[in-house]
Every structure is written in structure tokens, then in C-alpha cells.
Chains A and B, each alone.
Chain A
Amino acid sequence: MRAPRIGGFIALALAASLAGAQKLPWQANDAESGQKQFVKYLYPEQVSIAANQDSVVELHFAVNPGLHINSHTPHEKSFIPTQLIVAELPGLSVRQVDFPAGADVALPAFPDEKLSVYTGEFVLRAHIKVQPGEHLIQAQLRYQACDAQACYPPRRAPVAVDVIAK
């Protein structure tokens, strides 16, 4: 089993998004987020952690039965990796995100070509540091899903976690 990969999340500046009066990345009218989701964010909705200390929040997701999504490190360059897009907020920083290693799967018609994928439930570990107070992590999981017969265009599943830091 390969070691889990670290990093690979995208931080977006909230101020820049607001200044441009653009839609925030997790808002549902985006072409990638306005469609039926194949991945669901499960939990936690709220966490309590120590302020000003490095903490880890485990984000649990589930891929719909019968589907798979590419892992964070697909074997083929042209395949779209799963990424976490996080909005930057004052007083809260996401330092890195650990992605699990993908499972190797093969399509019946191409048994020798292995795909690196997530199926069922999987967990990302977000390393965060926050100032005292209540903060809302708002993010999106960008993924590209397939089943054994077809692939679906990339989509973004919304993620929201209320972080209470004391």
C-alpha cells in the first residue's frame, strides 16, 4: 500500500471573492456544483479544538454505491484528481490536507490498466490552526466520478464545519 499523500488542497482568498462580487466557491450555482452529487460530505458539522495549536480535523465523505472517484493521485496524468478547495478566513488557516491512498481497480474490458480510486467512505485529514472564537470552514471537494460504464463531468461537493476554538 502506498503511503498517503499530503497536501493538495487549494486555498481561495475570501476577500478577493467578495471584492469581485463573485459567487463563492461553495455556492451551488456553479456548473460543477449545481448538478446531482455523487459524493456526500458526512461529518463532522462541528468540532471543538484548542486555540492557537496545530489540530487535525477528520473530514468524512461517502461515494455513492456503484461509483468511484479518482484518488488524489491518479495513475494517469489526464485523470482529474480529487482536491479540497478551501476558502481562506481570517483567524483560521488550513496548513495541509492528507488524502488517503487510492485503491487500485480495473475495468473488466481493461484488466491490466489500474485506476487509483476512492469508493465508499473515505477520510481527509485537515491540519488547521485557529485563533480563539467560532469559525466556519467552508470548502468544496472537487471530484470526478465514474461507474463501470460511464464517467461524469467533474463536480464539487460542499463542505461546512463549524470550528469552536477555546
Chain B
Amino acid sequence: MLLGRFMTDLQYIQVPLWYLPLLVLIPAAVAAGVVSWLGRRARTRVVPENDPDWSVPPLTQGRGQGTSLIHRWDVRCKILTMLAYSFAVASLRHLDAAALAVLFSLAVLMVARVSFHKVMLRLAALAGFMGMLLVVMPLTVPNHPGDTIVVFGSLDWLGVNVRGGILAATIAAKATAIALLMEPLLSTAPLPMTLYGLSRLGVPDMAGQMVLLSYRYLHVFTHEARRMTAGMQARGFAKKTNMDTLRALANFLGMLFVRSFERTERVFDAMQARGYKGRFPDPGQLQLRLSDIFIAGIWVAAGTGLVFFDWLKG
């Protein structure tokens, strides 16, 4: 009876059962495979034949890297503009507007000439989340009047809501568009300079310093954790679902915390011993030029255009 009431508001498209693998399972499997392959490829560090020349700043190396418009852009303008633009993208409601945002982000990537490998790493990190949305939302979104439901053969219980699919695709496209901009935002200036820009925009110094030190010591703590894990495995530790494993993991985490805490104290001592008085020296000078404002203006106009286009779609 309930089905009958909805039958009047919903549009059902019945397709043969063999469409299920053709339209859903095979594309999903291919997409999962491609994402997984890209992720593996992105995580596999390619050993360069020649070690880069570390006597010059990395941003000035490579094929024109460091000379792009985005590299030269004032870091404060870059942060503010990209932040504002990201909010604009996040507010989009239609798939075609979100797709346009992805295209714009790709164009920015081309202009900035950032590392494709790192971009792939960021996308790989998002892929699981987006994949889950694309799979779950068409099946779970509440059916609204006017929705189109695709039914495969006699599997009435497996109605795929097209609106849910479009909604998931829109969210995925917006997330991709924003994620693609992270690389131009973070890799086109040294991290200390970006954090200095944040500080000049009013973010407390301490927050920037914490990010800088966290970035540096994350590697150290990761190495320590790996060595400790190897130390446990060398004495037969293997994760199981039992109290023994929980106790061992608790000891491991406790020891890692104690070692990290002790290191933190030593690092602070080392900083003080070299004259640290609560503030890192400024990494350079920031100078706002007319061209910086001009680029910001174009970018904001693009964001506004996207929002307007989205609004026009209703």
C-alpha cells in the first residue's frame, strides 16, 4: 500500500537484470581497481636516477617549477583567496557547477605545475570516502516525489535512486575540486613561509610553530613507532583479538607516548640553547604587489561566477 502511494510520485525505470553488472558492478569494480592502482602508484616513491641538487631550494628546480604564477603569488593572498574559493565550491548544489569547479582546479594545477604524484596521493586519500558515498547514497537516500528509481529485473528491493547518485557525484566533485587546490596552496611556497603568511593573517604564532614542529617530528615518531613494532614482531608479537594483544598495544602506545614526551622536552631544550625565546625567526619578507591583488580578483570572480551559475540552475 505504501509502495502504491509512492508509485504515483516516483518514476521507475525497469531494466533487465544483466544491466546490473554492466551499469553498476563492472564500473564500480573498474573504478575501485583504478583508484587502488593509482593509490599504490602514488605511494610508491620513484627513486630518481640522479639525486636532486639539494644545494638550491627545491622550488627553484625542475621544469619551470617555482616560476609559475601561483609560486610568485603572495602567500597571504593565496591563502585567503583559496579559502574563500573553497567555501564557494562547497556551497555548490549542482553537478555541472561542481564539474566546472573540478575543471578550474585542473587548470590551476596545470598553471602551477605541481607534482602529479603528490596530487594523486591526496586524491587517493579521498578515494575511499568518495567511493563509499557513490555506492551508499544511491541506495540509501530517502525517496522524494519526482525521483527516478532504477530497478534491475525483478530486484524491487534494490532500487537505485538517480538523485542519490547525482548528489554523491556532486559531493565527490566538490571534494575533488577542493583537494586538487591543496597542492597549489601548500607546495608552491615553503611551509614556513605559508605558516608565516597565516601568522600575518592573524593566526596565533604558536599554532604555526606547532604545525611546523609537528610536520618535522611526525617523521621521527613514525620511524620510532616502526622500529618498536619491529622490536615486538621480532619476539613473536602478532595482532590478535584478545586481551594479550590489547595489553601489548597499550604498552606500545604508552612507551611511544613517553618517548615522544621526553623528546619534546629535549627539543625544547635544544631550541632554548640556540636562543629561542618563544618565537621562530621570520622566514622572509612578504610584499603585497598589485599583481597579487589582480590574481586574487580574477580568482574570486571565477568563484562568484560558479556560484551564480549554480544559482541559475535553480
Do A and B bind? Answer: no
A interface, CB within 8 angstroms of B: none
B interface, CB within 8 angstroms of A: none
